[in-house]
Structure 1
Amino acid sequence: MNQDMHFDLVVLAILLAFIAYSLLTRAVERSLLTLPIIFMCLGYVLSEPLRTAAPPEVLHEGKRLLAEITLVLVLFSDASHVRFSQMKQSWRLPARMLVIGLPLSVALGTLVTWLISPEGGIAMALLTAAVLTPTDAALGQSVVTSANVPEKLSETINVESGLNDGLVLPFVLLGAILASAGMAGADTGGLALNAVLQIVLGPLAGIVTGWVVARLMDVAQARRLIAASAEGVVFLAAAFAAYVLASAIGGNGFIAAFVAGMIFGNSYKHNIRFVREFMEGAGLLLTMSSFLVFGALLLPDGLAHASTKTVVIAVMFLTVVRVGAIWLSLAGSGLKPREKLFLGWFGPRGLASILFTLLIIDTYDFANEAELLACVSITVALSILVHGLSSTPLARWIGEADDS
């Protein structure tokens, strides 16, 4: 069998898996299995055939492109559904978790990583903590949508997961730059200034893009100039326009996409359902592809470099770091201990951590890349399994506890 035919067969197997999952989505929702579990395992099974069928440079460029496209759309989409008006009424819990819990998670994670692996240095510890801080509600979707979970808890999880991947970006960028500079022995002054410019100019590009596109689309809607089928194109173009504009002026494109989504969602005066519809369709395909790529290309490499240290770091991030930071951030909130534990536990690591790692490793050169990959791979794999399998029973538990 020649290489082209081998590659075609692997791609066909992947496409058939996409079709099979789509046909059985309702059945999967009723089981303990989740999309991330299924496609991570499928990717791992197809890892060797995929590496054999495709040239390394094709796989490398493909996973980077997939990472950039998916992350831009996820950031824009998640932020576009956060309403300032709604947050005025129920902002306290997610605000505590984001304003206090997120920096605390990064700080505590940095300390834990440095204590366990001091040879990596404080910069690598910061980068590891920042990459492993953002959460992914898709891994515990049954919690967010479950009728058993009190609305204040499910809404808090939803808002936090929608915002924290964008808010943690400056920490990821700073950690990557400092780790890269430390390896090269270069003066970090210029790099620090570059980081500040990216963090400042990125949001500016996002604000301009989000507001202008929202205003133009409002005019088009009011005058009945836009067809419903074209609304998704505007969403796509706006997300990538923010990214490109930020990159052109020296800002961070991912921060720009996140801010643009928030400004667009709160400035657009008509129904924004087309963003959700796109992400439930084409966005679902990107999500399936991302977890498959994780299982096929990242997880095997991560496991190959795994050590006792990386496993301990992964377990600590899923337990002590996350739960401890959230518990402290919710002190004085009036929540019961079990509710604090519930919110702390459901901080699964997934898509954002995977995509940040792909992009950081490809963009920057720093020592201990293998250890970072191992930490992220093991943490995400464990999170996919334990959070996915525990979401339904724990949603039922918190609901029963709330009724009693």
Structure 2
Amino acid sequence: MNQDMHFDLVILGILGAFILYSLLTRVVDRSVLTLPIIFMCLGYALAEPLRNAAPPEVLDEGKRLLAEITLVLVLFSDASHVQFKQLRQSWKLPARMLIIGLPLSIGLGTLVTVLISPEGGVAMALLTAAVLTPTDAALGQGVVTSANVPEKLSETINVESGLNDGLVLPFVLLGAILASAGMAGTSTEGLALSALVQIVLGPVAGIVTGWVVARLMDVAQARRFISESAEGVVFLAASFAAYVLAEVIGGNGFIAAFVSGMIFGNTYRHNIRFVREFMEGAGMLLTMASFLVFGALLLPDGLAHASLKTVVIAVMFLTVVRVGAIWLSLTGAGLNASEKLFLGWFGPRGLASILFTLVIIDEFEFPNEAELLACVSMTVALSILVHGLSSTPLARWIGKRSQ
């Protein structure tokens, strides 16, 4: 069998898995399994066939392209659903977790990583902490959608996970630049200015794109120029327009996509359901592909470089770092100990951490890249399992505790 036919058969098998999962989504929802668990395991099972079927450069280009497309859409979509009007009524808990808890998580995570693995340096510790700070509500979907969970808690988890991946981007960029600058022979001239320009001009591109597209779409809706089937196209094009505009003027495209989504969602005067509908369809396909790529291309390399140190770092990020930072940020917020622990525990690491890692490893050179990959792989893999399996029973538990 030639390589081309082998590759075609592997792709056919993956597409068959996508179809089968989609046909059985309601059955899966009633089980302890989750989309991330299924496709991470499938990817790991297909790791060897996939590597044998395609040249390394093809796989590298494919995973980078998938990561960029998915990250742009996720950032825009998540931000577009955070409504400022609703936040005015229930902003205190998410604000505490984002304004206090997020920097605390990064700071505490950097300290823990330096103490456990000092040879990596502070810059790599900062990068590791930044990549592992954003959360993914999809890994604990049983919590977000459960009727047992008090609304204030499920809404807080939704808002935090929707915003923290975009807010952590400057820290990821800073850590990547500082860690890359530590490489021997790397020129550091102009790095600080370049980072500042990206962080400043990215939001500018996002604000312009989000506002202009929202206003144009409002006019098209008011005059009945646009059909329902075209609304998803506008969302798709606006996401990438913000990204491309930022790249053209020297800003960071991912920050632009996040800011653009937030401005679009709060400027557009009509129903924004088409964004959610698009992400429930095409977005699910990209999510399945991302977790499959993680299982096939990142997890095997991560496990190959895993050590006791990386396992300890992963466990610390999922427990002490996350829970400790959130507990401190919620002190004085009027929550009991069970509620604070619940919000601290449900900070699963998933899609954002995977996508950030795929992008920065391709874009930068680091002195201790293998350990970063191992830390991310171990943390995400453990999170996919423990958060996915604990979401339903803990949703029942917090429901009983809140009665």
Q: Do these two structures clear the TM 0.5 threshold for a shared fold by scoring above it?
A: yes
Correspondences of 1:4-403 after superposition (within 5 Å): 4-184=4-184, 186=186, 188=188, 190-403=190-403
Gaps (5+ residues) in structure 2?
A: none
For residues 200-256 of structure 1, what are the alpha-carbon distances to aligned partners after superposition, in whole Å with 9 as ceiling and x for unaligned? 110010000000000000000111111111111100000000000001111100000
CA distance, structure 1, for counterparts of residue 192 and residue 343 of structure 2: 34
Amino acid at match of 1:141: Q
- Where 2:182 maps in the other structure, the secondary structure is helix
- Where 1:183 maps in the other structure, the secondary structure is coil
TM-superposed deviation, 1:186: 4.9
For residues 328-376 of structure 1, what are the alpha-carbon distances to aligned partners after superposition, in whole Å with 9 as ceiling and x for unaligned? 0000001000000000000000000000001010000111000000000
Amino acid at match of 1:161: S
CA distance, structure 1, for counterparts of residue 300 and residue 103 of structure 2: 31
TM-superposed deviation, 1:183: 1.2
- Where 2:183 maps in the other structure, the secondary structure is helix
CA distance, structure 1, for counterparts of residue 12 and residue 184 of structure 2: 44
Gaps (5+ residues) in structure 1?
A: none
CA distance, structure 2, for counterparts of residue 201 and residue 121 of structure 1: 29
CA distance, structure 1, for counterparts of residue 205 and residue 301 of structure 2: 36
TM-superposed deviation, 1:2: 1.3
CA distance, structure 2, for counterparts of residue 184 and residue 194 of structure 1: 20
CA distance, structure 2, for counterparts of residue 125 and residue 265 of structure 1: 35
TM-superposed deviation, 1:185: 5.5
Amino acid at match of 1:378: M
CA distance, structure 1, for counterparts of residue 189 and residue 369 of structure 2: 23
TM-superposed deviation, 1:34: 0.2
TM-superposed deviation, 1:189: 5.7
CA distance, structure 1, for counterparts of residue 145 and residue 199 of structure 2: 34
For residues 255-278 of structure 1, what are the alpha-carbon distances to aligned partners after superposition, in whole Å with 9 as ceiling and x for unaligned? 000000000000000111100000
Amino acid at match of 1:183: M
For residues 276-331 of structure 1, what are the alpha-carbon distances to aligned partners after superposition, in whole Å with 9 as ceiling and x for unaligned? 00000001000000000000000000000000100000000000000000000000
Q: Root-mean-square deviation (CA), in Å?
A: 0.8
Percent identity over the alignment? 86
Q: Find runs of 4+ consecutive structure 1 residues off by over 2 angstroms.
A: 184-189
TM-superposed deviation, 1:184: 3.4
For residues 8-27 of structure 1, what are the alpha-carbon distances to aligned partners after superposition, in whole Å with 9 as ceiling and x for unaligned? 11111101100110000001
TM-superposed deviation, 1:193: 1.3
- Where 2:348 maps in the other structure, the secondary structure is coil
- Where 2:148 maps in the other structure, the secondary structure is coil
Amino acid at match of 1:374: A
